[in-house]
Structure 1
Amino acid sequence: MSVMAASNTVKYGIVGVGMMGREHLINLYHLRSEGVAVVAIADPHLPSQKLALDLAHSFNWPIKYLRKKVWCFEGHRELLDSLLCDVVVVSTPNMTHYQILMDIINHRKPHHVLVEKPLCTTVAHCKEVGRSEVVNSARKRQDMLVQVGLEYRYMPPVAKLIEIVKGGSLGQVKMVAIREHRFPFLVKVNNWNRFNINSGGTLVEKCCHFFDLMRLFAGANPVRVMASGAIDVNHKDEIYDGKVPDIIDNAYVIVEFDNGSRGMLDLCMFAEGTKNEQEISVVGEIGKGEAFVPESIVRFGTRVDGRNGVQTLKAENDQIKYDGLHHGSSYLEHLHFLSAIRAKAKAPAVDLHDGLVSVAIGVAAQLSIEKGRFVTIEEVMN
């Protein structure tokens, strides 16, 4: 009998309790009324361990889960071998995802997994995780779900725009434009996110979210990518172990899809002086829709009704109990994943293929900047 079958409580372990790992901890705390408990964490970085443990104690999780000798581990393998957890959240640095995922997938006890984006830093590693016989058999056995943390889908204004597009109000989508103008990358443990080799590159690390949304809006698969980007402002005066960061801080990316639609990303990471961090525009044959974050405003209208017929609404979701760093989307992500686990769903809402394609577009965009030409998805997939 599995741990979860013996109890109504779904027991979570978090691997990697830096900023995002602790964000997951807080979200799961706000899900406690749904029968959730965090029972273990793993992280080799002692300051992160302490911050997470202090946070967990402040939440007053049931005392039986707070014995440090079984609660806190330095590595993910020890956490897995403890057999304490039903679900593992992976929120470690990008370059570690592949090995951790393979270890979870191949462990003797099946664990459901929520892995932070990007799924992996390379297409090859994403494909290898997806090809795993254990994962494929788990789809049949329904004892292991692996969801990728592309939570921007759940932001209320984005979710509302997806609903409008899928409802056909705009007609067949022809163009998707996403603008993210924001602050530079935050400081992470050992500054791992300052280098492409660790993160996969800015267009993988940060922008897989937006490439995932483009696919959703277009309702199609990417064919080829053209990008232009550079390091113009951020991190140029930083040096780590004698090396200067190589991550780009701005780019334009064009993505062509197999149904003839196109997407464009406008990324700038030195644009703090802006009202909305994300602006999304979707234009179909008969109408246009827009979403704005963090204003949480959605606008949509048709060509026939023109400017005076544009509707504006405030996008809200009463289910959200904690807004957090991503405007409630991480909370909804956990809520949906928990529902899928309890329903013994055949697949999660955001699966390994979604994770793979979002990474592939980012890799193609990075390669396009390097080579100065269009890059096909087939090229990076092979």
Structure 2
Amino acid sequence: MSARVNYGVIGCGMMGQEHLRNIALLPGTRISAIHEPDAGMAALAAGLAPYARMAGSLEDLLEVPELDCLLISSPNHLHVAQMEHIARTRPLPLLVEKPLCTDPADLARLETFRDSYPAPVWVAMEYRYMPPIAALINQAAQATGGIAMLTIREHRYPFLDKVGAWNRFNRYSGGTFVEKCCHFFDLMRLILQSEPVRIMASGGQAANHLAERYHGETPDVFDHGYVIVDFESGARSMLELCMFAEGARYQEEISAVGPAGKIEALVPGPGRFWPADQGPPPVPQVIVSPRHPKAPRPLDVPVDPRLLEVGDHNGSTYYQHERFLALVRGVTATPEVSIEDGWRAVAMGLAAQTSMQTGQAVILHPDRLSPVA
């Protein structure tokens, strides 16, 4: 491999363009090829990556000789088939946007892919790398004395407009609690270092997209819900999602509590959505609150303004690519977010949606890659 790492990018919609802007900040990288079938999005991507060859198909992209790695940021339901095509044609180190897949039927295909793919595969779980969340992860064990309860709240804006409205329908996105919330299920497993054994959930569609029609169909994605997860370790976790709460000061609020105390991470949403008449956007915070002596200690965790300008995820896309590049360059040996991590986060989302639809708890199997019992 040359000193420069050459990316091929598959899918350059809104999230794909965030990847392009962040990769451009990393020394020794270049976007060398892009496959984006939508003409409008392809034109925007070409403006962000002026050296990239615009490939008319995935096959054409894989024929570009200088590629060192690949990024998949296409619509969710396309990921598995694209991964399989890459495996048959040119298996390079691969960064796959979340969710890894959308359907329980994908499990057997993913297991075959995992067991035979000769290059590393990293699933893009950006929330791990948001600075305030990373600080909570690093300090949680000491601050809590061992986590008994973990709560994640996201109060945010509705789904944004995507090409073809693919994120409005469960059959393309996997459903809200797969598409959006796999991030949070991944964080639960990572923070608690344990596997889920039971999921209970309640949710629905109360406010968003109800007046929209696409080819005569009304969107069916949920816009709010609660999910309670019991873990093998005995810890408990809860997710509260509301996608019609963009007026909130913080978009994500995460708290971990144990016998020694509590730690919280407060994360604002994208700065471009903050109203100018409210002054500067809020700064992310971590708050450590010991029980004895009672003395909450707030700490600002500012994010590099350059990174805030190039993405909506508090700099995490940049930090994720730093680590992925270390893997591509051989500095590190294994992905930090594996295919199994990606699948288990999807399985939790599918289980939550099943519980919402049936009104029953769903039992999970921590000893194998199984979506639901």
Asked whether the two chains share a fold, i.e. TM above 0.5, the reply is yes
Selected match of 1:118 from 88, 99, 105: 99
Give the Cα separation in 2 of the matches to 1:114 and 1:133.
14
How far apart are 1:268 and its partner, in Å? Answer: 0.4
3-state DSSP of counterpart to 2:49 = helix
Aligned residues: 353
Structure 1, 329-338 or 121-130: larger mean CA deviation: 121-130
SS in 1 for 2:228: strand
What is the CA distance between 1:170 and its match in structure 2? 1.2
Matched, 1:380 2:355: no
Q: How many angstroms does 1:104 deviate by? A: 1.5
Q: Residue 301 of structure 2 aligns with which residue?
A: 315
**Corresponding residue for 1:102?**
84
The match for 2:64 is 82
Aligned to 2:352: 365
TM-aligned CA deviation for residue 115 of structure 1: 0.7
Hey, what does 2:128 align to over in structure 1? 153
Q: Deviations over 1:310-334 (max 9, x none)?
A: 111112466x852221010000000
Q: Which range moved further: 124-133 or 259-268? A: 124-133
Equivalent positions of 1:105-254 (< 5 A) are 105-107=87-89, 109-132=90-113, 135=116, 138=118, 144-166=119-141, 168-254=142-228
Deviation at 1:81, TM superposition (A): 2.6
Counterpart contact for 1:146–1:348, Cα < 8 Å? yes
Q: Which residue identity is paired with 2:152?
A: I
Corresponding residue to 1:22 among 13, 17, 26: 17
The worse-fitting range, judged by mean Cα deviation, of 214-223 and 154-163 is 214-223
Residue in 2 that maps onto 1:54: 47
Q: Distance in 2 between matches of 1:79 and 1:298?
A: 43
**CA 1:126/1:77 → structure 2, altered by over 3 Å: closer, same or farther?**
farther
Give the Å deviation of 1:284. 1.4
Aligned partners of 2:230 and 2:236 also within 8 Å: yes
CA RMSD between the two structures: 1.7
Correspondence for 1:356? 343
* Contact persistence 2:155–2:246 (CA under 8 A): yes
Deviations 1:207-258 (A, max 9, x none): 0001111112211001111110011100001110111100000000001100
Instruction: Pick from 32, 37, 40 the counterpart of residue 39 of structure 1.
Output: 32
For 1:105 and 1:9, locate their aligned partners in 2 and report how far apart those are by CA, in whole Å.
23
Q: Secondary structure at the match of 1:198?
A: helix
Kept in 1, the 8 Å contact 2:10–2:58? The answer is: yes
Structure 2 Cα separation of the partners of residues 207 and 373 of structure 1: 20
SS at match of 1:204: helix
Give the corresponding residue for 1:61: none
- For structure 2, which runs of at least 5 residues remain unmatched after alignment? 269-282
Residue 95 of structure 1: CA displacement?
0.5
Deviation at residue 124 of structure 1 after TM alignment: 3.5
Question: Is 2:228–2:237's contact at 8 Å kept on the other side of the alignment?
Answer: yes
Name the SS for the 1:322 alignment partner: helix
1:296 is matched with which residue: 260, 269, 284? Answer: 284
Deviant stretches of 4+, over 6 Å: none
* 8 Å Cα contact 2:286-2:298 kept in structure 1: yes
Counterpart position of 1:330: 317
Paired residues for 1:2-17 under 5 Å = 4=1, 7-17=2-12
Q: TM-score, normalised by structure 2?
A: 0.91
Partner of 1:259: 233
The 8 Å contact of residues 321 and 331 in structure 1, kept in 2 or not, is answered as no
Pair 1:283 & 2:268 matched: no
- For 2:265, give the aligned amino acid: A
| Separation in structure 2 between the aligned mates of residue 196 and residue 367 of structure 1, nearest angstrom | 13
Aligned to 2:275: none
Aligned pair in 2 of structure 1 residues 218, 297: CA closer, same or farther (>3 Å)?
Answer: same
Q: CA deviation at 1:54?
A: 1.8
Alignment CA distance shift 1:72-1:208 (3 Å) = same
2: distance between equivalents of 1:370 and 1:105?
A: 36
Please say if residues 344 and 371 of structure 2, whose CA atoms lie closer than 8 Å, have aligned partners that are also in contact: no
1:234–1:317 Cα change, 3 Å: closer
| CA deviation map 1:337-364 (0-9, x unaligned) | 1012212533211111110110010000
